[in-house]
A and B are shown apart, each in its own frame.
Chain A
Amino acid sequence: MVEVHGPKIYTYLFGNTSFPITETMVNYWIVMVFILFLCLFLTSKMEKIPKAKQAIAEKIVTMIDGLVDQNMGKNCRHYSPFIATLMFSSVFGSLSSMFTLRSVTGDLNTTLGWALIVFGLIIYNKIKTNGFVGFLKGFTEPIWVMTPLNVLSEVATPISMSFRHFGNIAGGLVISTLMLSALSSLSSALGLPIPLFQLGIPGVTSLYFDLFAACIQAFIFSMLTMAYVGSARE
Chain B
Amino acid sequence: MDPKAFVAGMSALGAGMAMIGGLGPGIGEGYVAGQACSAIARQPEAQADVTRTMILGIAMAESTGIYALVIALLLIFANPLVNQF
Contact = CB atoms under 8 A, between A and B. Distances in A.
B73 interface: yes
Interface in A199-221: 216-217, 219-220
A80 to B, nearest CB: 18
> How many residues of B sit at the interface, in one of the four size bands?
10 to 19
A32 B55 CA distance: 28
Interface stretch (A45-53, A133-141, A159-167): A159-167
A223 to B, nearest CB: 6
Contacts of A171: 66, 69, 73
Contacts of A223: 56
Contacts of A6: 77-78
A168 interface: yes
B56 A164 contact: no
A216 B59 contact: yes
Contacts of B69: 167, 171
A163 B59 contact: no
B63 A164 contact: yes
A166 B70 CA distance: 9
Contacts of B73: 167, 170-171, 174
B16 to A, nearest CB: 14
A170 B56 CA distance: 20
Nearest to B77: A4
Contacts, number: 36
A105 B70 CA distance: 14
A216 B55 CA distance: 8
| Interface magnitude class on chain A | 10 to 19
Given A4-B77, A160-B63, A164-B63, A220 B56 contact: yes
B67 interface: yes
Interface in A168-203: 168, 170-171, 174
A175 to B, nearest CB: 10
A217 B63 CA distance: 11
Nearest to B78: A6
A172 B64 CA distance: 16
Nearest to B58: A216
A216 B56 CA distance: 9
A164 B55 contact: no
A66 to B, nearest CB: 12
Nearest to A166: B70
B82 to A, nearest CB: 16
25 contacts: A6-B77, A6-B78, A160-B67, A163-B70, A164-B59, A164-B62, A164-B63, A164-B66, A166-B70, A167-B63, A167-B69, A167-B70, A168-B62, A168-B66, A170-B70, A171-B66, A171-B69, A174-B73, A216-B55, A216-B59, A217-B59, A219-B55, A220-B56, A220-B60, A223-B56
Given A164-B63, A220-B60, 5 more contacts: A163-B67, A164-B59, A168-B62, A217-B59, A220-B59
In the A-B complex, the 4 residue pairs with the closest CB atoms: A167-B66, A220-B59, A164-B63, A167-B70
